[in-house]
Structure formats: C-alpha cells, structure tokens
Chain A
Amino acid sequence: MSKVLGLLNFEPSYVYVKGIEDFRPISAASILGRYRVIDFMLSNFTNSGIDSIKVYIKNRPRSIVEHITRTSYNINSKRGKIHLLHGENNFGNNELFNVDIQAFKTYMEFVDIENSSYVVIAPSHFIFKQDFSEMLNYHIVSKNDITILYQKANDTDQNYLMGDILSLDENKRVTKFHKNRGKYKNGNVSLETYIMPTLTFKQLVEEAAATSSLYSLSDIIADSAKVLKIGAYQHHGFCACISTLKAYYDANMQIKKEKEMLKLINEDWPIYTMTNDSCPTLYKPSAKVNGSIVANGCQIEGTVINSVIGRNVIIKEGAVVKDSVIMPDTLIDKNVKLECAVVDRLSIITHIKDLKGTKEEPIYIKRGDRI
C-alpha cells in the first residue's frame, strides 16, 4: 500500500463551545467520562493503519500535548509517530495560528519528510467512526482528485452550522459547496475529512495562501469544485460536530446509550486514551444509579440518573445528578441537586444546592470553580 499520512486539523473559527473552550481547544475536552474528543479521530487513524500523524494545534497546546504524549494510540513506537505542531514565538497573540492554511504552510517540511503518496485530513472537533482505508480505496477506484467524507443529515437547521453542505451529482461528485446557515433541515454535511494526493494538498495550500490570509483549506477546496474532480464518500452511523456547548452535551447524552457506545467503541475498533491508573468505582449502599455511564475511580453515595460521570468524581449522599455531564476530578457535595448541567474538571459544588439548566441550554460550571 502506498504511504498515507494523517493530518489532524484544528477546529475552524465557527467552533465555540462556551466555557469549555476557555480552558483548552475542544479537541482536548473530556468526553464520555474517560476520553478526550481527539481520541476518537486519532483512533480512527491508527485503527485504519495510519501511524504517521501530524496534529496541528491552534492555541493553548498544554492539555493536548500532555494528553497525546502520554497516550499510546497503538502506534508502533519506533516506526510510527504522532507529531505535534503548534505555533511558536507568537507571544501576545491570542492565537498561534488563525487559519489552518497558515499552520499547514509553516510546517510543510514535516509533511515533505514523510514522502507520503496520500494525505487524510480529518477534523478534531468531530466524533465519528470511520475506516479511512476503505475511504482511500474508494478514492482510488473512483479516480477523484479529492474525496470528501459526508453524512446525510436531517438536522442541519440545528447542527453543523457554518459547516459545508455539498451538492452532489449522480456520480457522487460535488458540484457545489454551500455554507450551512441553518435554513434547511436536510443536507449532505461535509465531515471536513479529505483524502487527496500529497501533491494536491501542497498545491492547494500554496494556492490558498496566495489568495488571501483568511483562506482555509475548506475554502480553497470549495473554490476548486469546478476544476478538480471532487468526490463524496458517505459516512454511516453516529456523527457529532462539537461546535457548541449544546452539541457537546448532546454528544455525551447520545453516545452514552449502550448500543450507540458499543457501535462506536468495541474490540474491533478500540478508542485509545491516556490511563490514569484509577481504581474501579465504588457504589456505596446509599447510591442509586441508572441510565448512566461512569468512569473509574469514582465514589458514589448519591443518586445518578441519565448522566455521564468522569473519572475520580465524588458524589456524596443525598446529592442528585440528573441529565448531566460531570467531568473528571469533581466533587458534588451532600444534597446538591444538579439537572442538565455540564460541570468542568476540578470543581467543587457544595454551597449552591440547586443548579438547573435545560436540555436546550445546559448550565455550565467553570473548571476549578468552588461554589
């Protein structure tokens, strides 16, 4: 097989996950209790047999760097590599890179060095399961210049806002790109995952940089629809675009159902993550738990209904956690009632006894808050 290089892009500017993103890129956010968002896409790469991966980081690299360097994504420790590429010498700027093209261009030498035939470019704010080797086969057989992964969605008025919607012809070639402004319910959503020859990628990056400093990879690909053969490859199954707090909350709630979770994560398609060496979770006699997923290291005395509980969380007697996402290392004290809440890491909820959001607008508790 020809060499394939995986490029993990950073999130585009339309992504803003209120609160959570103030502390780390969304790709580093905890999800489903024991994972980070980025684990799903990196595991897609390695489960597809791609073990040379570049991870581009837009800003606040600390949590991503720490997580990735301490996780073995089942990559051969000598021949494979995950390369972390974040901007340097940019103190004072909020962001190290503004658009992805800037990052791609800056670090093109690290792509060149790999001598790959193809690149798979995937987003870091999406969660889905995809075998890229199947997609590559399709790309080669259908003689496309570029192949884009897409999903037939019926909720584009609610989700995937400001992403690309694809118009396809009968041969599944993309004829036009539209920005999703939420007008329609149905559409072919681009999953911002592209396969193309490395050479094409390099040309596109050069072209975009020459066009405008605001141009992104998706912009230049949209521009090229007339001159290049852009094919579309359909993704089936669960897909989440984590671009808002509600989308983050919904993704947790949807995947936590046993059937959905086991489709996304199973023996044939493991999702790798950093081990914390926490012991199993202790459910004390007073605990009442159902409809939830729970990570290891928790001590639960209270009631947990329909929620996602992160690692090393303590829920005291009389506390009720309902329809909520509790990130790792938090403490929910006695008699605290939480409903539709997203509680960020390392926070302690003890004085405020009632916190209630809605499924439409979950309430967010800041990282490290003591309330």
Chain B
Amino acid sequence: MKKNNMVAMILAGGRGSRLFDLTKKVAKPAVHFGGKYRIIDFALSNCANSHISTVGVLVQYESILLSSYSARSSTWGLDSKGGGVYVLSPREKDETGLGLYNGTADAIYQNLDFLDQEEAEYVLVLSGDHIYKMNYEKMLQKHIESKAEATIAVIEVPKKEASRFGIMNTDSTDRIVEFEEKPKEPKSNLASMGVYIFNYRTLRRYLREDAKNSESAHDFGKNVIPAYLNDGLKLQAYRFKGYWKDVGTIDSLWEANMDLLKDNSGLDLFDPSWKIYTDDASATPQCIGSKAKLNNAFITQGAVINGEVNHSVIFSGTRIEEGAKVTESVIMNDAVVGKNAKLTRCLVADGIRIPEGMVLGKKNSDEILLVSKALIAKAGENHE
C-alpha cells in the first residue's frame, strides 16, 4: 500500500577516502558493518520500515557492487508494485551530454526527471553512510504540520564536538534561523544529520537556479539551504533522539561496531518491529569450537571460532584459529586470523589472512589499526 508520496533519494556516490583501503574498490555505502550488514542497509531499511516505496540510490564512485546490491529491492521488501529501488548513476542525456554528479545538489538536480516521473510531492534526501534507525514517516508528519518548505533532522551533539558538524541555530519553535558549516565557535549543539525533507516543487525551482550558478559548489549544506534561508523560506529542525553515527573514518567505523557490544548504545538491532534487512548469506550457523573463549562478542553466521575473542565484532565467513586472540577488534567478512596470532584494536578488512603468530595493534592505542593486504605484506617483510 502506498502510504505517502515521498520519494527517498540516498546519496551514495562518494568515495569515502578516509576509509582508505576499505573503499579502494567498493563505495562507502557498500562497506560491511556490524557482522552481517552493509552500511546502506540502514538507510534502505529505514525507508522500507517508514512505508516509503520508491527509493533512488545515487551512485558514482566504484559502483558495480553497490548498484547490483541496491537493485535487489526485495532484500528490504522494497519490491511492491509501483515502487522499488532505482539505481541512479550519471547518464548521458539528450541535451547536456554526459556529466558526472558534481555535488550533492547536482546529483538530485540531474535526476529531476526521475522525480517528475514519480510525481513526488515530498523528497527525502539521505546519506548512504550513516548508522541509525529513524522513522521518516513521523518526520514527514511533523514537516507537514509545521508547513515548512524543508525540514532538517538534527541531533544534539556535545558542545565541544559541534565544530565538526553542520550546525543549525534555531528559534524557540525550532525554526532554523541560521546554518553554519563546521563553525569554529558554535552557537548551538544541534547538528544536521544529513536527513532532509523538501517540498518537491520548491526544491525543484531552487535546484534549477543553483544549477545555473557557476560559482555554486552545488552542495545542499553550502548552497541550497543558505539560499532557502536568504529568501526567508521556512526551514524547520526536527529533533531526533537516539543513536546516529557517521562512519566516515576507520576510527568511527570501529567505534560504531563496538557500540553493538554495549547494552545501552541506543541502537537496538534485536527489535523485531524495526529490523535492519540485508542480503541473506547462505552460511552455516556460527561454530564455536571446544577451545573457544568468548568474552563479549557480536558474531554472525558463517563464522568459525576456535580461538579467543574479547570485545570484538566478527563478520560472516571468518575463521579465528586455535590460540589466536582477538581483542577490541573488528574482523570483516571472510578474514582468517591464523593460529596464535594476536590482534588488538584492529579493523581487519575483508578477506585478509593474518599469518600464524602475527601480532598486530596495541592496547590503549589512540588509533585503530586498519589491517589491509598492504599492511600484511609489509609486516611479513619486517618479520623476515
């Protein structure tokens, strides 16, 4: 049943260069997370659970895997008639020829024909690289009630961290009066979550204007939102309470995984009423061997554990061999931790084989060690 005429557009084209080797051949939204998921599963499942039936996924950087993955709409139950997941990559057009997406606003602008065709009344703009559970239907309701032209979801962040975010300054009714991108001296602690609802007709007009402006960076935060504010349009903040994390760096990706080990992180993946859907791996159940030792672990099917796992998240198809010790680490899909190897505060990329006895990472280190192919090769040389 089509419950609202809001079309979701997930921005999933960025490279995510601060994830280094993890995004060498895979776009950030397709990076694995939390044992069995990919990062984009959160945005897509939120859409499905919010009764949104049409979702556009805007891809650009290394998009083969991300496109084929997103296109399987049935994974998230987004396969009802009249809806679906549309993978929108840059395309050659009749009048303009081939152009890559040049900024977040440009990506939506280049797909106005798609939104026209879907007869969208509201457009929900999302990022494909955030971990959170959110009911967009409730946000739409608020948006409609407030009669705003656009509503921006915000979350309270600690004051001292506020300068890392786009900060919304609001009046007493939560109307946005000012937007500051990464302010040195933040006036409020309401950070934009990169979740926007726009009335489509107005957005359409502003995007067409923005496209004509050769000086614009074609960015929602830098250009479109300020243009709305300049013209005195009503922009409303929607306060979100709950877990939300941008996983753009190795450290934050590691942290978000570690949050899954906590009882009260605010992200409840066990809640049956708001499941996060993902591709079903035809893997065996988890095999916890007779010599295994587990001390706080989040483990998914297809993993075989014969060693010791402390405060770690273990992804599908991994093997932790006998005598190996994994502490405060994230072991991604199909990685193998060889016998007696010791990993502390590491994030091991997909498919990496840690040789027998190798020791990586340090207790109490400030930075999380990304264990990639290159690192293993280098560590092997030093070993010899």
Q: Is B130 an interface residue (CB 8 A)?
A: no
What class of interface size applies to chain A in its complex with B? Answer: 35 or more
B300 and A284: CB pair below 8 A?
A: no
- Assembly CA distance A292 to B304 (angstroms): 11
Separation in Å of the B32 CB from the closest CB of chain A? 12
B294 and A296: CB pair below 8 A?
A: no
Separation in Å of the A267 CB from the closest CB of chain B? 9
Q: Is A34 an interface residue (CB 8 A)?
A: yes
Using a Cβ cutoff of 8 Å, how many contacts connect chains A and B? 97
Separation in Å of the B283 CB from the closest CB of chain A? 8
**With a CB–CB cut-off of 8 A, which chain B residues contact A297?**
270
Q: Which of B86-94, B273-281, B324-332 contacts A (4 or more CB under 8 A)?
A: B273-281
B282 and A271: CB pair below 8 A?
A: yes
- Grouping DSSP codes into helix (H, G, I), strand (E, B) and loop, the B interface class, with mixed when no group exceeds half, is loop
A287 and B294: CB pair below 8 A?
A: yes
Separation in Å of the A240 CB from the closest CB of chain B? 16
- Which residue of A is nearest B316, CB measured? A280
B300 and A296: CB pair below 8 A?
A: yes
- Using known A-B contacts A285-B296, A290-B292, A295-B286, determine if residue A279 contacts B34 with beta carbons closer than 8 Å: yes
Separation in Å of the A63 CB from the closest CB of chain B? 19
- Using known A-B contacts A32-B285, A289-B294, determine if residue A296 contacts B36 with beta carbons closer than 8 Å: yes
A270 and B285: CB pair below 8 A?
A: no
**With a CB–CB cut-off of 8 A, which chain A residues contact B306?**
258
- Grouping DSSP codes into helix (H, G, I), strand (E, B) and loop, the A interface class, with mixed when no group exceeds half, is loop
- Assembly CA distance A14 to B290 (angstroms): 36
CB contacts under 8 Å to A, within B225-266, are: 260-261, 263
Q: Is A358 an interface residue (CB 8 A)?
A: no
- What string of 1s and 0s marks CB contacts (under 8 Å) between A274-291 and chain B? 010101111111011111
Q: Of B276, B280, B288, B298, which is within 8 A of A294 by CB?
A: B288
B288 and A293: CB pair below 8 A?
A: yes
B301 and A34: CB pair below 8 A?
A: yes
Separation in Å of the A359 CB from the closest CB of chain B? 17
A261 and B288: CB pair below 8 A?
A: no
- Assembly CA distance A271 to B283 (angstroms): 8
- Which residue of B is nearest A270, CB measured? B282
Separation in Å of the B196 CB from the closest CB of chain A? 28
- Assembly CA distance A287 to B298 (angstroms): 12
Interface size on B, residues (CB 8 A): 35
Q: Is B158 an interface residue (CB 8 A)?
A: no
- Assembly CA distance A137 to B278 (angstroms): 39
B294 and A282: CB pair below 8 A?
A: no
Separation in Å of the B318 CB from the closest CB of chain A? 12
B296 and A293: CB pair below 8 A?
A: no
Chain B CB count within 10 A is highest, among A272, A289, A306, for A289
Q: Is B379 an interface residue (CB 8 A)?
A: no
Q: Is B269 an interface residue (CB 8 A)?
A: yes
A284 and B296: CB pair below 8 A?
A: yes
Q: Is A352 an interface residue (CB 8 A)?
A: no
Q: Is B35 an interface residue (CB 8 A)?
A: yes
A289 and B285: CB pair below 8 A?
A: no
- Using known A-B contacts A271-B282, A277-B278, A279-B35, determine if residue A291 contacts B290 with beta carbons closer than 8 Å: yes
Q: Is A204 an interface residue (CB 8 A)?
A: no
- Assembly CA distance A304 to B286 (angstroms): 13
B285 and A294: CB pair below 8 A?
A: yes
**With a CB–CB cut-off of 8 A, which chain B residues contact A258?**
287, 289, 304, 306
Q: Of A275, A279, A283, A299, which is within 8 A of B297 by CB?
A: A283
- Which residue of B is nearest A282, CB measured? B298
- What string of 1s and 0s marks CB contacts (under 8 Å) between A234-270 and chain B? 0000000000000000000000101001100100001
CB contacts under 8 Å to A, within B153-193, are: none
**With a CB–CB cut-off of 8 A, which chain A residues contact B296?**
283-285, 287
- Assembly CA distance A306 to B290 (angstroms): 8
A280 and B299: CB pair below 8 A?
A: yes
B298 and A261: CB pair below 8 A?
A: no
Q: Of B289, B295, B313, which is within 8 A of A290 by CB?
A: B289
Separation in Å of the B300 CB from the closest CB of chain A? 4
Q: Is B291 an interface residue (CB 8 A)?
A: yes
Q: Is B4 an interface residue (CB 8 A)?
A: no
What are the 3 closest A-B residue pairs judged by CB atoms, nearest first?
A: A279-B269, A280-B35, A280-B300
Q: List 30 A-B contacts (CB under 8 A).
A: A32-B285, A33-B285, A256-B287, A271-B282, A277-B277, A277-B278, A277-B280, A279-B36, A279-B276, A280-B35, A280-B36, A280-B298, A281-B298, A281-B299, A281-B300, A282-B297, A282-B298, A283-B294, A283-B295, A283-B297, A283-B298, A283-B299, A287-B294, A290-B291, A291-B290, A292-B288, A293-B285, A293-B287, A294-B288, A295-B285
- 9 new A-B pairs (CB below 8 Å) besides A291-B290, A293-B288, A297-B270? A272-B282, A277-B276, A277-B280, A280-B35, A289-B292, A289-B294, A293-B287, A294-B288, A295-B286
Interface positions of B (Cβ within 8 A of A): 34-36, 260-261, 263, 269-270, 275-278, 280, 282, 284-301, 304, 306, 313
